[in-house]
Amino acid sequence: MTDDILIHTHGRVGHISLNRPKALHALTLDMCHAMSAALAKWADDDAIEAVILDHAEGRGFCAGGDINLLRESALNDGGTSGRNFFHDEYQLNHQMMTYGKPIVAFMDGVTMGGGVGIALPCKYRVATENTRFAMPETGIGLFPDVGGGWHLSRLGGRLGQFLALTGARLDGAECLWAGLATHYLPSEMIAEAKARILDKPGRIAGVLSEMVGSPPKARIEENADKIARHFASDDYEDVLASLEAADTDWARKERDTLGTKSPQTCKVALRQLKESADLTDFADNMRMEYRIASRVLVRPDFAEGVRAVIVDKTNDPKWNPPTPEEVSEELLDSIFAPLPDGEEWTPL
């Protein structure tokens, strides 16, 4: 077990609190293992009816996975430890997605990358005015993994494709509008909500509905028609051309944003979401994402993206390939191809 995660039971409710405030509760492999073990134990415990997932202190909820570990792996061990991290993190994502008891995630703060991966499988997802939701992976040469292909591809109006490509951040009201959150509460009501859930774990839906706050208007709703129009294609060049042809400030801003992203992983993301939309089993999605992760981890863009954005903070990544046109279908095919026998992802 690890001090980076706090695991308790309160009567009939299991309680998992992420506890790495200096890292905005980013997930380590030990944290994933501790969560998985607790969930497995409670799944077989008739005394536990529900699970609460939150963060212990600070600006949480969860800023992602252990990016520094992944970069060190890409640079120093051929991706071996990085693949191990992805494999077990994805097992946790799948375990939560198929969990037989309700999990309530309080997305009160930064909810990005790996944080999205543990929040969106939960039956109840509570956003607040502090929620900052994003899948920003294309900016570091990664892709929206941890089930992102499944979740984003099932949003309406091409919103998922927009979020995957641009890494746009949504606030709590926008998460509720998009269906990424099931409920919205002012953060000052969270403690009371948890207390009521502990008292009546069989009535979570009722408790949250009774307490539901009035969120502000979702700002992104005003741009929904633009998103649906300009991000309509699964061809990345088409998306760029549509934005370039539109003489509006919004289109220019989004086109400039895409200009900072890895062309390789933007194309990967569009194909990922297209293929995920046709899947019927979340395990198949995770198997596909593990194949992608195993390849993308050791390609040039990931280590370079993390260097430019996170390590050196120069924001000047040199992408390879440098342009969308140079990202060939053959390269994409190789990234999505099945792994050798014995190396494919498997659920717990």
Any idea which residues carry the catalytic annotation? 65, 114, 137, 145
Give the angle 50-55-57 at the CA atoms, nearest 5°: 140
Which amino acid belongs to residue 263? P
**Nearest to 57, CA basis, from 127, 1, 106:** 106
Q: What's the gap between Cα 91 and its chain centre?
A: 14
Phi, psi for residue 53 in degrees, rounded to 5? -120, 120
The total of other beta-carbon atoms located within 10 Å of residue 208's CB is 19
Instruction: Report d(CA 199, CA 179) in Å as an integer.
Output: 27
Instruction: Report d(CA 146, CA 62) in Å as an integer.
Output: 13
Give the pair of three-digit tokens for residue 194: 């948890």
The total of other beta-carbon atoms located within 10 Å of residue 5's CB is 23
Phi, psi for residue 5 in degrees, rounded to 5? -145, 135
The total of other beta-carbon atoms located within 10 Å of residue 206's CB is 11
Identify the three-state secondary structure at position 148.
Answer: helix
Phi, psi for residue 105 in degrees, rounded to 5? -100, 130
Instruction: Report d(CA 243, CA 36) in Å as an integer.
Output: 43
323 contacts 267 by C-beta, under 8 angstroms: no
Which amino acid belongs to residue 185? L
**Nearest to 86, CA basis, from 281, 339, 270:** 339
339 contacts 346 by C-beta, under 8 angstroms: no
87 contacts 345 by C-beta, under 8 angstroms: yes
